[in-house]
Amino acid sequence: MEIIFLIMLFCMGTVFGSFFTLAVYRIPLGLDITHKRSFCPNCNHRLEFKDLIPVLSYLSLKGKCRYCGKPVRSRYLILEVLSGLVFVVSYFAYKLTFPFFEVESIISLIAFVMFYVTNCLILGIDKEYIKVEKKVLLFGIITNTLYMLYLYTFNNLNLYRYGIYLVVLLILFCLDTFFLKKFKKSFYFLQILMLLTYEISFINEINKLVLGLVIFLVITLIYIVLNRIKKNNKIPFGFIISLSSIMCVLIGNLGFKLF
């Protein structure tokens, strides 16, 4: 039975994965992400339900649009499969015990899914536009604050430290609004500082933070080496930070320790 549950989790993950590609495309353009139906970016044909089944649609159409035959980027498939895998791994990382789940594990898992959604959107948008989308970050901060309030109410968590992170975030948001007014632009380093504060407020454990830093350095190094070949000089730090954060939370929760 547990295996069926894991397959269900995998499928749920692939649905999230296909939502990410849609949201990463629509949010920066200011388009609606929930109501309007998906369409092919090449021929603009509206996609039917049978075209929107994660993984299976892609495979059955051999990676091409049903209506115009143009190839669909393979990263859609990769993202869907990866998201499915992340959901399966998080089942073990959050120690869910099938079939009797503890309320606490479920709530932590939901908090992680919100963290995962926030980071996937941030990394997707940053990779494309070199910009940390503040709307997405705000979603992450609000959901994380709700989780902290839950821990405070039921687990006697001390909110002092989280309060400091929130104050730092508030100051950074104010600074950003100020710069937007004065210079009519938002500065990337400020966005990165906001993102970092958000990540630290969620991860909140020295062990995982150090692990995250190591992963961050490795990915940055790989990126720089690859960039030498491609001659593209802007490093999407938001992308790398979000990716390392997801990885260090999952690996850390699976029990891996650096020291």
**Least distance from C-beta 45 to Zn ion, angstroms?**
5
Nearer to Zn ion, 8 or 68 (CB): 68
Contact 109, 218 (CB under 8 A): no
Query: Quick check: 61 binds Zn ion (CB under 5 A)?
Result: no
Residues 88/89/91/93 CA torsion (nearest 10 deg): 180
Q: Using DSSP, state whether 215 is helix, strand or coil.
A: helix
Q: Which of 65, 89, 130, 157 binds Zn ion (CB under 5 A)?
A: 65
Q: Which of residues 133-152 bind Zn ion (CB under 5 A)?
A: none
Q: Could you give the CA distance from residue 130 to residue 185 in angstroms, rounded to a whole number? A: 14
**Alpha-carbon gap, residue 191 to 244, rounded angstroms:** 17
Cβ 51 to Zn ion, closest distance in Å? 10
CB of 64 to Zn ion, least distance (A): 8
Q: How far is CA 54 from the centre of its chain?
A: 18
d(CA 168, CA 173): 9
Compute the Cα dihedral for 202, 192, 41, 34 and give only its sign: positive
Least distance in Å: CB of 114 to Zn ion? 33
Which of these ranges, 16-24, 37-45, 151-159, 248-256, lies near Zn ion under the rule CB under 5 A? 37-45
Taking CB under 5 A as the criterion, the residue among 7, 33, 68, 159 binding Zn ion is: 68
In 156-205, which residue ranges form alpha helices assigned H by DSSP?
A: 160-183, 188-203
Minimum CB distance to Zn ion, residue 121 (Å): 24
| Residue 102 per-residue DSSP state | -
Shortest gap between Cβ of 214 and Zn ion (angstroms)?
42
Name residue, tokens 């990382």: 93
Nearest to Zn ion of 72, 193 (CB atom) = 72
206-230 vs 237-253: helix crossing angle, rounded to 10: 140
Q: Which of 43, 159, 221, 254 binds Zn ion (CB under 5 A)?
A: 43
Alpha helices for 94-133 (secondary structure H): 103-129
Residues in contact with Zn ion, counted by CB under 5 A, come to a total of: 6
Compose the 166-205 pattern: x for residues touching Zn ion by CB under 5 A, - for all others: ----------------------------------------
Q: Contact region for Zn ion (CB under 5 A) — 66-74, 82-90, 158-166, 217-225?
A: 66-74
- Binding residues vs Zn ion (CB under 5 A): 40, 42-43, 65, 67-68
